[in-house]
Amino acid sequence: MPASSEYPVLSRLLSSNAQWSKDVSNTDPSFFKNLARGQAPKVLWIGCADSRVPESVVLACKPGDIFVHRNIANQFHLHDDSALSVLSYAVDVLGVEHVVIVGHTSCGGAAACLKGARELRNSDGTGAHEAPLERWLAPLTSLVASLDISGPEVPDAEALPVVVEENVKMQVENVVSSEIIRKAWSAGKNVHVHGWVYRVEEGRLQDLNISQGPN
């Protein structure tokens, strides 16, 4: 099998990593040794897998600052063991104080749900979700289909931002309704759940002001 470095794209990434490691070590010789001792992030970021929204970059944070879970369209499904495991570890082991659901403009997953919702409105509403991506986005597609903006008379440019925000709101409610958060609040843990939208065209985060906490 060929080595990763034989592929130009990956070779550049490996070289960039080596240079980054060297630069960080020159600036702070103890940085990586301290990092290896453990992590104590105060924030769990649940975001989209989109390559344009790398949390540490857009937040200007260092390794160890943010605990992360990312997937298509920043979903938090209550039956998804991956997401539940991340939330459980973040809250119960790391002791994070803030869980932030972060959507973003120009989201391909949200756009797919808008398209699917419009197709659903024009069908008998019983279409099967065969592909993995369709199954993953099915709850959001159903939500979008219930909104007025899913009609064909609403331009995509007007409808998509609404889908993005409504998606974040739904995921915040999902996190809040999880047994993990409910138990944390019952135990007196000061964990808050927030909803943000990252505006790709501006590089700025918007707080949707929908935070929920134990009080």
pLDDT tens, the chain, 215 aa long: 789 989 999 999 999 999 999 999 999 999 999 999 999 999 999 999 999 999 999 999 999 999 999 999 999 999 999 999 999 999 999 999 999 999 999 999 999 999 999 988 776 655 556 799 999 999 999 999 999 998 888 999 999 999 999 999 999 999 999 999 999 999 999 999 999 999 999 999 999 999 999 97
Marked catalytic residue, from 23, 37, 52, 70: 52
Marked catalytic residue, from 61, 92, 104, 194: 104
Q: Residue 122: its pLDDT value, please?
A: 73
Provide the 8-state DSSP code for 146.
Answer: T
Q: What's this model's pTM, rounded to 2 decimal places?
A: 0.94
Residue holding tokens 């159903």? 142
Enumerate the domain spans of the chain: 1-38, 39-207
Q: Residue 49: its pLDDT value, please?
A: 98
Q: Residue 127: its pLDDT value, please?
A: 55
Secondary structure element (H or E) that encloses residue 158, with its range: helix 156-177
Marked catalytic residue, from 69, 107, 118, 194: 107
Give the largest CA-CA distance in the chain.
63
Residues 6 or more apart whose CB falls under 8 angstroms from that of 205 comprise 58, 102, 196, 197, 198, 199
Q: Residue 79: its pLDDT value, please?
A: 97
> What strand order describes the sheet that includes 98-104?
66-71, 43-48, 98-104, 192-199, 204-207
Residue 38 and residue 92 in contact, taking contact as beta carbons nearer than 8 Å: no
Q: How far is the C-alpha of 181 from the C-alpha of 87, rounded, in Å?
A: 8
- Does domain 39-207 fall under CATH 3.40.50.1400? My reply is no
22 CA to centre of own chain: 30
Q: How far is the C-alpha of 64 from the C-alpha of 66, rounded, in Å?
A: 6
Q: Does the annotation list 194 as a binding residue?
A: no
CB atoms within 10 A of CB 28: 12
Q: Does the annotation list 48 as a binding residue?
A: yes
Reference 110, options 200, 37, 29; nearest CA is 200
